[in-house]
Amino acid sequence: MTIAPEFENLTVGDVVAERELRFTRDSLVRYAGASGDFNPIHYRDDVAQSVGLPGVLAHGMLTMGAAGSVATDWLGSAAWVRDYQSRFTRPVPVDAREGASVTVTATIAAIDVEARTARVDLKVVFEGATVLGKAQLLAAFA
């Protein structure tokens, strides 16, 4: 059982959650079915390569959503997400056999005591490169 974070105990600079996320071709097919995004660059290497990509890519929104879950899992029921945004800076190629692993680190970046909010910055990295830029989640505490 995880202990819910308490707003009064948050400190700017604290790393509050870290996780490695693994994407497989199966993950991409499941996400395509759930989202309705059946662009073939997400499941066919030949199509992805024909448009200059290294191969099949993870959906940007899958990457963003999975990264956000690292912070929301940490928050639990202690807060709700008021805002979440990101820039897609690099694609995540998903190898047919090996898949792809991204690491997510959630850090408290700003605290507004009057509004009882905390901005959580997410660092999302694949093979040493950031894949989501300015990934920020604003959590509102009761």
For residues 104-117, give the mean pLDDT.
98
Q: What is the pTM of this model?
A: 0.93
Q: What is the pLDDT of residue 4?
A: 86
Residue 110 lies in a domain: yes
Per the structure, the complete domain to which residue 111 belongs is given by 11-23+58-141
Average per-residue pLDDT for the chain: 97
Residue 18 lies in a domain: yes
How large is the greatest C-alpha to C-alpha distance in the chain, in angstroms? Answer: 53
For residues 73-94, give the mean pLDDT.
97
Q: Please tell me the total count of domains within the chain.
A: 1
Residue 50 lies in a domain: no
CATH of the domain at 62: 3.10.129.10
Identify the band that residue 2 occupies on the pLDDT scale cut at 50, 70 and 90. low
**DSSP state string for 79-127:** EEEEEEEEEE-S--B-BTTTBEEEEEEEEEEEEETTTTEEEEEEEEEET
Residue 133 lies in a domain: yes
Residue 102 lies in a domain: yes
Residue 134 lies in a domain: yes
Residue 37 lies in a domain: no
- Residues of the chain with pLDDT > 90: what percent? 97
